[in-house]
């Protein structure tokens, strides 16, 4: 029995020492990485700098693509790049925008209808979203002329069954094209940039450079990052002493480090999520108390799961909730959502309520990628979220068509 305890204790010590060595290795490599970043040549990323920590919204990417595709040469290049087997007259191409059916982007030719669904930031899929778009296209084109370009951020992902039914899958077959911004859109933009002459089209060339710079920085694939990665590789090789090892030894050492890093990363991710959740709950509680004090019980606010607070009301006999919460990416937002209905079941009511809020001249804006149950919502700085919610609450309470549900 003592031998067993001794073995377990020894094994535990070996694992602990190995993890500590890996943690030390990670810290030194991280220090090298930060030094390399600080030594980068001066680079201006206007889009990235303007957004700071925010992502460029998916609708903004659509507008950029739409703008670029107004150029006939770029339009032709885009279609040949993503639909290489299409035989069409490029003179007949139309790109209606914005699409009244809320499709991100559509390109119509004499022999094809291309639906572009933009998920670069991982926006939530909507129920039967692709099905609805395809049904719309079937009013004007035959099934074998309809294509879906499904664009994600860094990997090719197929739309889920929540968004596309098996019948639509069977209908489209291989005409559902799954691509991504990192491996497809960014290289395409870079290729187009190289072929545009600055003297002939300086504004187009500048716009392409700005967008290319933003995307390459976003995915860390510009030449500077490639050079830095080569230096980091050399640091890793030297730190782990890989140069003097046989190939088999190198493989074993690298695999051990990866396994250790995975364990450390798992625990760090757990701690990070715990700390973020605690911070979000603390903020929600603080904002709730502030709003209760300001509103003095009118309306009565309720809290849900320590991560959301607000109140319920009726507008034209439809139930809604006005609230403040955090989304899955840990960003605070305010908004009004339908409790039992959505934009498709009660479009007039939803649109009227949305217009009432947005046209109030109170500074409200609507996030363009809202799921169907949201009337209006938007992200807000933590420092302004209370003021925004109070303003929205007083606006709702001032309307004769809104009735509070106590």
Q: Which of 356, 363, 361 is nearest to 381 (CA)?
A: 363
The whole-number pLDDT of residue 119 equals 93
Whether the Cβ atoms of residue 324 and residue 297 lie closer than 8 Å to each other: no
Least trusted range by pLDDT, from 41-55, 79-93, 120-134, 171-185: 41-55
Task: Indicate whether 8 pLDDT > 50.
Answer: no
Q: How confident is the model at residue 87 (pLDDT cuts 50, 70, 90)?
A: confident
The whole-number pLDDT of residue 257 equals 83
| 15-24, 48-57, 83-92, 224-233: range with highest mean pLDDT | 83-92
The whole-number pLDDT of residue 358 equals 95
Give 269-288 as a DSSP string. HHHHHHHHHHHHHHHHHHHH
Bridge partners, residue 118, by sequence: 151
Read off the pLDDT of residues 274-325 as tens digits, 9 standing for 90 and up.
999 999 999 999 999 999 999 998 999 999 888 999 999 999 989 999 999 9
Whether the Cβ atoms of residue 383 and residue 355 lie closer than 8 Å to each other: no
As a whole-number percent, the residues of the chain with pLDDT over 90 amount to: 55
Rounded-to-integer distance, Cα 137 and Cα 131, Å: 10
Task: Indicate whether 368 pLDDT > 80.
Answer: no
Whether the Cβ atoms of residue 166 and residue 176 lie closer than 8 Å to each other: no
Q: Which of 121, 64, 164, 48 is nearest to 367 (CA)?
A: 121
Rounded-to-integer distance, Cα 160 and Cα 328, Å: 19
Least trusted range by pLDDT, from 29-33, 59-63, 131-135, 137-141: 29-33
Read off the pLDDT of residues 111-154 as tens digits, 9 standing for 90 and up.
999 999 999 988 888 889 999 999 999 999 999 999 999 999 99
CA distances (Å), origin 347, targets 54, 112, 200, 323, 364: 30, 30, 47, 21, 20
CA distances (Å), origin 355, targets 57, 98, 268, 366: 22, 18, 44, 10
């Amino acid at each position: 029995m003592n031998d067993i305890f001794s073995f377990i204790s020894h094994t535990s010590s070996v694992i602990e020492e190995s993890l500590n060595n890996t943690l030390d290795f990670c810290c030194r490599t991280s220090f090298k990485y930060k030094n390399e970043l600080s030594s980068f040549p001066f680079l201006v990323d206007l889009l990235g700098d303007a957004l700071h920590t925010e992502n460029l919204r998916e609708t903004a990417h659509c507008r950029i693509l739409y703008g670029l595709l107004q150029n006939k040469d770029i339009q032709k290049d885009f279609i040949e790049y993503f639909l290489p087997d299409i035989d069409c007259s490029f003179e007949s191409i139309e790109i209606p925008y914005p699409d009244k059916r809320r499709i991100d982007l559509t390109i119509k030719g004499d022999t094809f209808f291309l639906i572009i669904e933009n998920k670069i930031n991982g926006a939530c899929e909507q129920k039967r979203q692709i099905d609805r778009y395809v049904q719309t296209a079937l009013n004007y084109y035959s099934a074998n002329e309809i294509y879906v370009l499904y664009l994600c951020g860094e990997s090719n992902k197929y739309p889920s069954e929540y968004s596309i039914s098996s019948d639509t899958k069977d209908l489209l077959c291989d005409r559902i094209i799954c691509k991504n911004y990192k491996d497809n859109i960014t290289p395409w933009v870079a290729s187009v940039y190289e072929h545009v002459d600055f003297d002939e089209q300086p504004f187009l060339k500048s716009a392409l450079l700005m967008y290319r710079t933003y995307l390459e920085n976003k995915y860390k694939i510009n030449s500077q990052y490639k050079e830095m990665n080569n230096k980091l590789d050399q640091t890793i090789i030297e730190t782990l002493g890989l140069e003097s090892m046989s190939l088999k030894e190198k493989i074993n050492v690298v695999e051990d480090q990866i396994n250790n890093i995975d364990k450390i990363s798992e625990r760090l991710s757990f701690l990070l999520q715990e700390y973020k959740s605690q911070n979000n709950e603390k903020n929600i509680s603080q904002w709730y108390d502030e709003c209760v004090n300001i509103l003095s019980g009118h309306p009565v606010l309720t809290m849900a799961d320590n991560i959301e607070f607000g109140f319920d009301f009726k507008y034209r006999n439809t139930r809604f909730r006005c609230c403040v919460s955090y989304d899955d990416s840990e960003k605070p937002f305010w908004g009004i959502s339908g409790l039992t209905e959505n934009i498709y079941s009660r479009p007039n009511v939803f649109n009227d309520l949305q217009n009432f809020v947005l046209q109030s001249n109170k500074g409200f804006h609507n996030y363009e990628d809202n799921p169907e149950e949201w009337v209006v919502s938007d992200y807000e700085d933590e420092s302004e979220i209370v003021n925004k919610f109070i303003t929205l609450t007083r606006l709702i309470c001032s309307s004769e068509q809104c009735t509070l549900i106590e």
